[in-house]
């Protein structure tokens, strides 16, 4: 009787097991060195799971894309065919923090009906994207990406905190970080990305997207349907507006409406990547090159004309130059003075910001002789970049680019896009391509970095960060503890900087301790020490790096300015030696044979070791700027010294509250 019962039970179990096998195929893919494991389950739904070693980082999470006709990519995929490929390549990155990026990953391609899904597994990341294989155009109603976690982990969340044009998706991408658990995330709020999730034990999962072109960027939010989960949200396509270069823009309206779909596009194209960076120490997170790896290759046949560099910028300190025999302001004499300053310190550019023209880009302010300024810059080997509002530039893009390129202008800083829906993303791509046609560099403000800087390396910078210019108006920390720039300064290298070059606009020399800081609009001060400001130039990625204070201030502080002007805008090699998100970072970058080491801390004083193993053997001459012994009381206090160092021993550096350290290290021959 017992054997008969067992036979009946087994007869019932075996078909169920076979059915489960038929319903879902499981694919397991390991990164090149086996650090990260991806598990993909293809059945009624498509899910992905990411492990770091034995630790589960992303629990099984749904992936789907829904077309307007009701077709869903990512469901009913049990017949999907998988192919695994090992990729080991590299590519040049001459406008970055390293000259070459090694790109090694394991690729899983799932072939489905009418589309495929590509998964890449790196030793520090995993990513996927949908690839359409349908003729003609498709309308995409929505895309769903979720990131499920096994616990209620701490997150660093850059919330959307104001509604431009009354639209929750229209935003300048300038946010400080709320630090809270997933369960505490505001249910009604969107967040920009990257978002860092702290799983404890130094393990971080950082959510981002990449490769966005002619497709909306991804926002994220607390998942209303699942605990310990974060999910995607995308802007609908704007209705009744035009964003094509050469046509009047009708974007800036209060009656802004979005359609019930997120994109209308080719059915045979790659969609953007959804990625998670997975690291067991924070130095690896700051070292990660994922945005470069997931971007499209360079589309310019000739990049020899593209010139990264440092910029004397006028707007931050409101053209307040002193000790001169002319009235400072938006006029020719002031900009010639800026050019003279740039030439004195070897800076490559100046920017003429808001005020040189109005809504008509061809009607120049009567006080500005633009041709004379450009001629003076040419004589001094200093290029001129013009600021322009995006909506004023858009209808005349090609005419303006040709006109000002013919005049000798070297680039445009384009501002106030405040959006990354499909039409805006297409607009920014097309503007970059037109700029390249006329050999103009571009700096995008009011926009999130979106991986366009690799296909169009004439894009030398993006804002999308709570830049130092906010010190012009943000109240003291004692009034609002969120306005904590030194802490923010040691979060963004791990988050915002992960997705592309960052126009943070540093360089203020009116430095303030925590209690002394206050907003001063025309002559702003920075939070933290003088050396904190200097160190930013060696740590932050900015191929178009701003000098945000006035030439008068820089001349007065010649020693610091001379040192700052020696730091390049791009590098050949980069390494982060130690770091902790929100606390400190220590890094070093090489240009030629010279290394530039730097460190930043939050408001906590600390002593850090700067290991010199990256230098190799030998003796180096070091010019060092460190916080002065009284920098905790007078933030501008610093110490400069020149020493010879033995690379076998680390440098031990004391950082004052809100402090920094920076050094130029050159081999002794």
**Looking at residue 252, what is its pLDDT?**
52
Residue 243's pLDDT band, with cuts at 50, 70 and 90, is confident
Pairing of strands 46-52, 55-67: antiparallel
Q: What angle, rounded to 10 degrees, do the helices at 397-407 and 422-437 form? A: 30
Assess whether pLDDT exceeds 90 at residue 251: no
**Looking at residue 7, what is its pLDDT?**
41
The DSSP line for 175-230 is ---EEEEGGGS-TT--B-S-EEEEEETTEEEEEEEE--SSSPPPEEEE-TTSTTEE
**Looking at residue 14, what is its pLDDT?**
35
Pairing of strands 459-462, 441-444: parallel
| CA atoms of 130 and 139, how far apart (whole Å) | 14
Contact residues for 11 (Cβ-Cβ < 8 A; gap 6+): none
Assess whether pLDDT exceeds 60 at residue 446: yes
| CA atoms of 595 and 666, how far apart (whole Å) | 7
Average of per-residue pLDDT across 445-458: 94
What is the end-to-end Cα distance of the chain in Å, rounded? 92
Report the share of the chain in percent with pLDDT over 70: 94
| CA atoms of 578 and 217, how far apart (whole Å) | 31
Assess whether pLDDT exceeds 60 at residue 561: yes
Assess whether pLDDT exceeds 90 at residue 285: yes
Average of per-residue pLDDT across 641-656: 92
| CA atoms of 516 and 535, how far apart (whole Å) | 21
Average of per-residue pLDDT across 602-608: 97
Residue 47's pLDDT band, with cuts at 50, 70 and 90, is very high
Residue 602's pLDDT band, with cuts at 50, 70 and 90, is very high
Backbone angles phi, psi at 511, to 5 degrees: -95, 145
Please give, one letter per residue, the 3-state secondary structure of 594-661.
Answer: EEEEEEEECCCCEEEEECCHHHCCCEEEEEEEEECCCCCCCCCCEEEEEEEEECCCCEEEEECCCCEE
Average of per-residue pLDDT across 466-484: 85
- For Cα atoms 94, 122, 203, give the angle at the middle one, nearest 5 degrees: 105
**Looking at residue 4, what is its pLDDT?**
41
Pairing of strands 411-415, 441-444: parallel
Assess whether pLDDT exceeds 80 at residue 120: yes
Helix, strand, or coil (residue 666): strand
Assess whether pLDDT exceeds 90 at residue 256: no
Contact 186/222 with Cβ under 8 angstroms? yes
Residue 562's pLDDT band, with cuts at 50, 70 and 90, is very high
Residue of 650, 648, 649 whose CA lies nearest to 609: 650
**Looking at residue 10, what is its pLDDT?**
37
Long-range contacts of residues 524-527, Cβ cutoff 8 Å, at least 24 apart: 524/316, 524/317, 524/468, 524/469, 524/471, 524/472, 525/471, 526/468, 526/471, 526/485, 527/471, 527/477, 527/484, 527/485, 527/486, 527/658
- The pTM for the full model equals 0.94
Average of per-residue pLDDT across 35-53: 98
**Looking at residue 240, what is its pLDDT?**
78
Residue 18's pLDDT band, with cuts at 50, 70 and 90, is very low
Average of per-residue pLDDT across 101-125: 98
Residue 249's pLDDT band, with cuts at 50, 70 and 90, is low
**Looking at residue 1, what is its pLDDT?**
42
Lowest average pLDDT, out of 93-107, 115-129, 156-170, 357-371, goes to 156-170
Average of per-residue pLDDT across 166-176: 90
Contact residues for 19 (Cβ-Cβ < 8 A; gap 6+): none
Average of per-residue pLDDT across 381-409: 97
| CA atoms of 127 and 138, how far apart (whole Å) | 23
**Looking at residue 618, what is its pLDDT?**
85
CA distances from 643 to 615, 619, 624, 663, 664 (A): 16, 10, 8, 11, 11
**Looking at residue 11, what is its pLDDT?**
38
Residue 246's pLDDT band, with cuts at 50, 70 and 90, is confident
Give the pLDDT confidence of 353-372 residue by residue, as tens digits.
999 999 999 999 999 999 99
Residue 595's pLDDT band, with cuts at 50, 70 and 90, is very high
Assess whether pLDDT exceeds 90 at residue 269: yes
**Looking at residue 248, what is its pLDDT?**
67
Q: Which residues are catalytic?
A: 415, 469
Neighbours of 601 (CB within 10 A): 32
Assess whether pLDDT exceeds 70 at residue 254: no
Indicate the average pLDDT of the chain. 93
**Looking at residue 324, what is its pLDDT?**
97
Give the pLDDT confidence of 72-97 residue by residue, as tens digits.
999 999 999 999 999 999 999 999 99
Side-chain half-sphere exposure of 221, counting CA atoms within 13 A: 15
Residue 476's pLDDT band, with cuts at 50, 70 and 90, is confident
């Amino acid at each position: 009787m017992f054997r008969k019962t067992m036979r009946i039970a087994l007869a019932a179990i075996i078909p169920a097991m076979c059915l489960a096998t038929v319903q879902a195929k499981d694919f397991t893919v390991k990164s090149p060195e086996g650090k990260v494991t991806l598990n993909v389950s293809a059945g009624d739904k498509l899910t992905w799971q990411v492990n770091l070693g034995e630790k589960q980082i992303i629990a099984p999470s749904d992936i789907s894309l829904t077309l307007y006709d009701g077709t869903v990519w990512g469901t009913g995929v049990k017949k999907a065919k998988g192919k695994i490929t090992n990729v080991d390549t590299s590519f040049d990155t001459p406008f970055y923090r390293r000259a070459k990026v090694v790109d090694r990953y394991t690729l899983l391609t799932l072939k489905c009906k009418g589309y495929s899904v590509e998964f890449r597994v790196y030793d520090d990341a995993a990513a996927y994207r949908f690839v359409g294989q349908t003729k003609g155009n498709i309308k995409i109603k929505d895309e769903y990406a979720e990131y499920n976690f096994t616990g209620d982990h701490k997150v660093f969340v850059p919330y959307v905190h104001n509604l431009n044009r009354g639209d929750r998706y229209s935003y300048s991408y300038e946010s400080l970080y709320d630090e809270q658990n997933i369960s505490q995330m505001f249910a009604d709020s969107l967040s920009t990305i990257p978002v860092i999730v702290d799983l404890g034990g130094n393990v971080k999962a950082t959510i981002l997207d990449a490769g966005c072109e002619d497709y909306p960027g991804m926002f994220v939010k607390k998942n209303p349907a699942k605990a310990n989960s974060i999910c995607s949200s995308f802007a609908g396509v704007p209705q009744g507006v035009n964003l094509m270069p050469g046509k009047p823009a009708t974007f800036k309206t209060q009656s802004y409406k979005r359609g019930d779909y997120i994109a209308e596009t080719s059915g045979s194209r790659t969609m953007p990547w959804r990625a998670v960076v997975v690291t067991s120490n924070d130095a690896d997170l700051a070292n990660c090159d994922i945005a470069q790896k997931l971007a499209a290759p360079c589309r310019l046949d000739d990049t020899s004309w593209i010139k990264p560099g440092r910029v004397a910028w006028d707007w931050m300190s409101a053209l307040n130059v002193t000790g001169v025999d002319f009235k400072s302001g938006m006029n020719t004499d002031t900009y010639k003075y800026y050019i003279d300053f740039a030439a004195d310190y070897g800076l490559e550019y100046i920017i003429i910001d808001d005020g040189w023209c109005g809504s008509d880009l061809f009607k120049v302010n009567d006080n500005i002789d633009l041709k004379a300024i450009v001629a003076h810059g040419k004589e001094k080997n200093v290029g001129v970049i013009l600021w322009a509002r995006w909506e004023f530039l858009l209808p005349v893009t090609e005419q303006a680019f040709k006109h000002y390129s013919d005049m000798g202008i070297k680039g445009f800083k384009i501002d106030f896009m405040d959006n990354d829906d499909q039409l805006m993303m297409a607009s920014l791509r097309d503007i970059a391509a037109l700029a390249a046609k006329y050999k103009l560099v571009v700096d995008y403000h009011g926009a999130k970095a979106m991986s366009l800087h690799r296909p169009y390396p004439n894009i030398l910078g993006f804002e999308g960060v709570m830049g130092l210019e906010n010190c012009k108006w943000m109240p003291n920390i004692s009034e609002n503890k969120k306005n904590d720039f030194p802490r923010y300064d040691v979060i963004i290298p791990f988050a915002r900087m992960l997705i592309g070059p960052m126009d943070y606009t540093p360089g203020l020399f009116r430095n303030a301790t925590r209690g002394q800081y206050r907003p001063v609009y025309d002559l702003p001060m920075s939070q933290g020490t003088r050396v904190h400001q200097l160190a930013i130039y060696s740590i932050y990625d900015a191929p178009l790096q701003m000098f945000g204070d006035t030439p008068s201030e820089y001349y007065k502080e010649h020693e610091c300015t001379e040192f700052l002007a020696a730091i390049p805008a791009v590098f050949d090699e980069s390494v982060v030696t130690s770091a902790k998100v929100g606390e400190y970072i220590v890094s070093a970058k090489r240009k030629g044979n010279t290394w530039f080491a730097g460190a930043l801390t939050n408001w906590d004083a600390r002593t850090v070791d700067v290991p010199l193993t990256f230098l190799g053997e030998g003796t180096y001459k070091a010019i060092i700027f460190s916080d002065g012994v009284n920098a905790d009381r007078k933030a501008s206090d610093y110490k400069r010294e020149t020493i010879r160092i033995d690379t076998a021993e680390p440098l031990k550096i004391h950082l004052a509250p809100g402090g920094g350290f920076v050094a130029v290290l050159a081999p002794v021959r």
